[in-house]
Structure 1
Amino acid sequence: MGTLDWIAKWADYTPNKVAVTSFDSEEKYTYKDLDAYANKLVEKFESFGLQEGDRIAVLAEHSLHYIVLFCACQRSGMILVPLNYRLSLSDLQALIVDCNPSLLLFSETQKEKLEELAIPLPKTIHLDVIKYYYKNDVVVKSKTYHIKEKNPIFIFYTSGTTAKPKGVIYTNGMMFWNSLNTSMQLGITFRDSTINTLPPYHTSGWNIFITPLLHKGAHIGMVEKFDSERVLCLLELYETTLFMALPTMLGMMQKTEVFKRVNLEKLRFIISGGETVSSSLLKHWKQEKNITIRPGYGLTEAGPSITSLHHEAVMSKSGSIGKPNFYLKTKIVTASGKRARVNEVGELCIKGNIVTPGYWNNSVETKSKIKNNWLYTGDLVVKDKDGFLYLKGRKDDMYISGGENIHPQEITSKLLMCNSVLKAAVLSVSDPVWGQCGVAFVVVKEGKNLNDILAFVKDNLVSFKRPKHIILLEDIPLTSVGKISRKKLLACYKVYKDNLKS
C-alpha cells in the first residue's frame, strides 16, 4: 500500500485548499495548515517523552483541534482515544483506567468534570494550550513520517447499551479501506463537502465522512452541537453536497419552519442509519426537498461503511440496509452454523481489511467475536431474492416465547406502520408462563391513545407475536450517539411493573 499520509499529499497538491472550517470559532485550516500544525504537535508530544503506541485520551467536543490531533497521532504512531463526555463519572473513570493514557487533553466545557474524577490522572493539558503549541512553537528540523498500516489510530469505546463498553481498536488500514468503500459508493471527489454534527467518541464522527473526505482532499465543516435549524441554514449557505444524520436528527430537522424555506439543491445524498430509517422519512425528504436519504449499516468493529442502499432502490426496497460495499466479504449464518437461505434469518458475518484486530485489553471478547478472520456481528439479517439485506435486530435481542422465535425489530417495524404511532421500540423480558415476552414502548400521535394501539396489534400481529405489555411514553430514550437506550427502557419497564404491583 502507498502512503497513508493523505494530509501531506494534499498539502503538496492543493496547499491553499480549505480542509476544515469551524462554524463555532469561525477558524479555517488549509491542507498546508493541517500539515504544518500536525508536524509541530508531533515534535511537542515527543518532547514530552511520548512515543509510538502511547494513548492520548481526549475529553472534548469535536473541533479543528481534534483534526490536528488525528494527523499528529497518525504520524507518530500514537493512539487517539476520544472519550464520551456524556458518560457518568464512574463510567468515564473506567474508560480512562482501561486505556491507561499517557496524556489527557480536555476542553473548557469539560474542565469541571475532569476535576471531579477520583482516579490518578496522567499529564493533562487544555486544548487551548495545545493550539498554542502547534500554532506558535518553532520546528527545529523537518522529519518524514512513515504511517504504518497495522498501527492503531483510534480506540473507540462501544456505547455499552447492554453491557460494559469495550475498546475497539481501529487501525490505519481499516480507515484506508473504509474510505475507499465510502468514496466508491457515493462517488466522492475533492469538490465535495460535508458538515459534521456527530460526536468524536463514535466511529461515525470520524469515519462516515471526515476521514474519507480528507482522503479525497475535500472540505469538512464542523459544529460542536447539533441544532436542527442552524444546520439546515449552514447546509444551504455552504452548498453542502453530503450529509450524515441519524433518523432522529432528520425528523427534528423536517419539523422546523426553516426546513420549508431552505434551498438544498446542492445536497446530493443524506446518509442515515443507527436505527431503522422509516419509509415516511424517506418519502418526506424526497417529496419536499427532492433529496434521497440512503440508509446503510455499519458498526464500530468494522468499517463503519459495510452496506449501502443505492439511491435508485431506496423506494422499491424500503426498509433495506442495501447490499455489501466493496472490499469486504459477508455471510449469513444460522443458529445451527449453516449458511442461511434466501429470506432465512441468520447472523451477519464480515471479513476483510475493514475488520478490527480486536478489543483493547480484552482477548476473551476478541476471540468470541472474531473466528477464522470472520467478525460475528451479533446482528440478525435476512437476504431477499435480489440480494438486498434487511436487519431483524440483535442476536441477543431475539427471544423465545412459548417455543416461538420472535425478533423485536419485526414487531417494532409493524408498530411503526400504525397511523397512531409516532415512535416505537420493543424489548423482551422474563415471563413466568412463557419464559419470555415482549414489551412495546410507544409514543402515540396527538389525540391517540392505548386503545388505538391495542386494536392495531390485534388486527396485524398473530397472537404469539403480540407484546404482552404496551407502555406509552412521551419519548423513546436514546444513548449519547442517538441509538435507542435499552437500559433506560428497562428502567421504564421496572417502574411500570412496580406500579402494577401497587
Structure 2
Amino acid sequence: MTTDTLDWIAKWADYTPDKIAVTSFDSEEKYTYSQIHVYANRLVEKFEELGLQEGDRIAVLAEHSLHYIVLLSACQRSGIIIVPLNYRLSLSDIEMLFLDCSPALLLYSENQKEKLGQLSIPLPKTIHLDVIERYYKDGVDVKPIAVQIKEKNPIFIFYTSGTTGRPKGVIYTNKMMFWNSLNTSMQLGITFRDSTINTLPPYHTSGWNIFITPLLHKGAQIDMVEKFDAERILCLLELNKTTLFMALPTMLAMMQKTEVFNRVNLEHLRFIISGGETVSPSLLKLWKEKKGISIRPGYGLTEAGPSITSLHHDIAMTKPESIGKPNFYLKTKIVLSTGRKARVNEVGEFCIKGNIVSPGYWNNSTETNNKIKNGWLHTGDLVTKDKDGFLFLKGRQDDMYISGGENVHPQEITATLLTCENVMKATVLSVDDPVWGQCGVAFVVLENEKSLKKVKTFVNKKLASFKRPKHIIILDEIPLTSVGKISRKKLLAYYKVYKAKLQP
C-alpha cells in the first residue's frame, strides 16, 4: 500500500474540501476535510519542533474530541504512535501504562488536569489540548510536506481492559486500519452519504475502528459526543438524520426505556451495530417492531479488526443468538485443544488470520508468541459453527468450567436465560463447589422479583441438570467495566455477600 492509499484525509481534502468531516455536539465545532488536512500538517511541523521521531509514542489522557481526529492524521504522516489512555482507571493503573509505553509526549484535556497532577511518576513533556488546538488553528501555513505513510507502522497502542490480568498493549497498524475499514464498508455498504454519532471512548478500538476510521476512509461524516446520554442521543439521531450507529446492548436498553424512544423518528437509521456482550433476542425484536430498525450483532476483539463477524439483518431474527459469519478479507478456523479442526456444532477455539491481525503486544514478546502462531491469532474465545455456517459464541476458554465431570460454557447458559421473557439481562460465572468441583452462578435483572420462580422453572425445563446454575442472584443492574464489558470482579464480590448471607 502507498501513501495515497492510506492518507484518506488528504484525498478527501482534494476531492471534497468543504465537506464536513467531524462535528462535536459538545463544543459545537465542525471541521471540514480540508481543515483537518491543514491542521494535521501544522501539527506535523510542531512535532518536528519538539524533536519527536517516527516510532515515538504520544500518550493522550482525554475524552474523544475533534483534537483526536487531527492527531490521527498528523501521527499517520509522522509515523508516531497514539496511545489513548483510559482516564477511568485508577492512578496506579495509569502509571503502569505510562511506564509500559514510555511516551515522548503527553497530551491532556481540562477534565483530566487534576488527575494528571496526582500521578507520582516522572512524566514526559506535557501539553494541554487547548494549546495544541491554538497551534494548529492559528499556526502559519506550512509548505506541502513529504509524507510517507508505511502500512506496517503502528498508529495506535490499545491497552486491553485487563479483566483477566495485567493490561496488554495491542499494536494496531495502518495496514490493520485499512483492511478493517474495507471489511466494515463491505458488510454495511458504507458510502460518503453516511453519518454516525460516536459515543464510545477513544481508549478502546471500538471508539475508533467500528465507524470513525471506516467513515473517514469513505469521506463520510462523524458526529461526536463525550458522554452517552440516552435521551440526548435519541434526539440527535433524529435531528441529524444519522444513518449508522454503534451501541452496546446496555446502551440500547437504556435508550428504549426513555420517554423519548416512542416519540423520535429514526427512519434514516439504516443499522445499529452492537456487540461486546450478548444481544438478547428480545432487544432485537423490540427495536425492529417499535422503530423498524435492524440491530446487527457481531464479534470483534482488540487484537484483530475489530470487524470480524457480522450477522446480516435479514437473518437476525432467525438466528438471534448467532454472531453471524466471518467478514471479507480474513480467514477463520475453529480448533480443538488437540489441534484438530472442529466439526459442525463442536466447541473449539476461534482462530483468525489476515491483514486485520495485530503483529503483537507492545513490549511483550512472550504473550505475542503465545497468542499468534504461524500467522494465526488464537483468540481464546470458544465458538461453534452450525450446518449453515453461522457462528455461536460459547465464552472464553478460561471461562469454561467442569461441573461433575461435564464441560459447561457460561455463554450458552446466559443465552438461554435471555430467551426467558421474565429476564431483562443476565450473565453467568463459575465458582468452586465442594460437591461438583465447580458450579454456575447466574446474575439476572428481572422485570420484578416475583419472576424468580418462573425463571427457575424455565431453567429446569431448558437446561440439562449439570448446566443449571446452582444460584440465581437478582441485581438491579449488571455491573460493567469502563469499556462497557461485564465486570467479573464486581460480580464475584456480589456473590461473596450473597454466600455470606446463606451461612447459618
- Class of the TM-score when normalised by the shorter of the 2 chains: over 0.9
TM normalised by structure 2 equals 0.98
| Counterpart mapping for 1:98-247 below 5 A | 98-247=100-249
Amino acid aligned to 2:252: L
- Equivalenced residue count is 502
Q: Distance in 1 between matches of 2:281 and 2:379?
A: 25
The residue number in structure 2 matching 1:403 is 405
CA–CA distance in structure 2, aligned partners of residues 304 and 88 of structure 1: 26
| Alignment RMSD | 1.2
Within 2, Cα distance between the matches of 1:367 and 1:501? 45
Matching of residues 318-357 of structure 1 within 5 Å: 318-357=320-359
Name the residue aligned to 1:63: 65
Indicate if the aligned counterparts of 2:196 and 2:243 stay in contact, CA closer than 8 A.
yes
**Structure 1 equivalent of residue 478 of structure 2:** 476
Normalising by structure 1, report the TM-score. 0.98
- CA distance in 2 between counterparts of 1:7 and 1:419 reads 48
Report the alpha carbon displacement of residue 430 of structure 1 after superposing the two structures with TM. 1.8
Partners of 2:59 and 2:103 within 8 A in 1: yes
Counterpart of 1:307 (choices 286, 306, 309) is 309
CA contact (8 A) 2:281 2:418 kept: no
Q: Residue 494 of structure 2: which of 484, 492, 495 is its match? A: 492
The answer to whether the Cα contact below 8 Å between 1:379 and 1:393 also exists between their aligned partners in 2 is: yes
Cross-structure match for 1:382: 384
User: How far apart are residue 140 of structure 1 and its match?
Assistant: 4.5
* Structure 1 partner of 2:277: 275
Between 1:302-311 and 1:492-501, the stretch displaced more is 492-501
| 1:92, distance to aligned residue in structure 2 (A) | 1.0
Q: Give 1:452 deviation, angstroms.
A: 3.5
Give matches, 1:361-376, under 5 Å: 361-376=363-378
Partner residue, 2:300: 298
Q: Is 2:156–2:173's contact at 8 Å kept on the other side of the alignment? A: yes
Give distance in 1, aligned partners of 2:127 and 2:501: 49
Residue 96 of structure 2: aligned partner: 94
What secondary structure sits across from 1:283 in the alignment? helix
Check if 1:425 corresponds to 2:394.
no
Counterpart position of 2:256: 254
> Quick one: distance in 2 between partners of 1:98 and 1:493?
34
Q: How does 1:24-35 map to 2 (within 5 A)?
A: 24-35=26-37
1:417 Cα deviation from its structure 2 partner = 2.2
Q: Distance in 2 between matches of 1:39 and 1:216?
A: 21
Question: Take 1:150 and 1:224, find their aligned partners in 2: how far apart are those partners?
Answer: 31
Indicate the percent of aligned positions where both proteins have the same amino acid.
Answer: 78
Taking the aligned partners of 1:370 and 1:157, their CA distance within structure 2 comes to 17
Deviates more, 1:40-49 or 1:452-461: 452-461
One-letter amino acid of the counterpart of residue 350, structure 1: I
1:19-73 CA-partner distances (Å, limit 9, x unpaired): 0001111100000000000000111011011110010000110000010111111
* Alpha-carbon displacement from aligned partner over 1:199-238 (angstroms, at most 9, x marks no partner): 0000000000000000000000010000111111111111
Deviations 1:349-392 (Å, cap 9, x if unpaired)?
Answer: 00000000000011111011000000000111111111111111
Deviation at 1:453, TM superposition (A): 3.2
Quote the Cα distance in structure 1 between the aligned partners of 2:316 and 2:463: 26
**Which 10-residue stretch deviates more, 132-141 or 301-310?**
132-141
SS at match of 2:314: helix
User: Which SS does the other structure have where 2:431 is aligned?
Assistant: strand
Amino acid paired to 2:460: K
Counterparts of 1:310 and 1:457 in 2: how far apart (Å)?
29
For 2:437, the equivalent position in structure 1 comes to 435
Which residue does the alignment assign to 1:8?
10
Partner residue, 2:86:
84
Amino acid at match of 1:128: D
Query: In the alignment, is the contact (CA less than 8 A) between 1:162 and 1:487 conserved in 2?
Result: no
Q: Does 1:74 align with 2:76?
A: yes
Q: Secondary structure in 2 aligned to 1:312?
A: coil
- SS of the aligned residue for 2:381 comes to strand
**Higher mean C-alpha displacement, 34-43 vs 450-459:** 450-459
Unaligned 5+ residue runs, structure 2?
Answer: none
Contact in 2 for aligned 1:61/1:224 (Cα 8 Å): yes
Partner letter of residue 429 of structure 2?
L
Residue-by-residue CA offset, 1:307-349 (whole Å, 9 max, x unaligned): 0111111111211111100000000001221100011111100
In structure 2, how many angstroms separate the alpha carbons of the residues matched to 1:460 and 1:324?
Answer: 29
**What secondary structure does 1:57 align onto?**
strand
Q: CA deviation at 1:447?
A: 4.6
Q: Letter of the aligned partner of 2:457 in structure 1?
A: A
Output one character per residue of 1:155-198: Cα deviation in whole Å (capped at 9) or x when no partner.
00011122111100000000000000000111111111111000
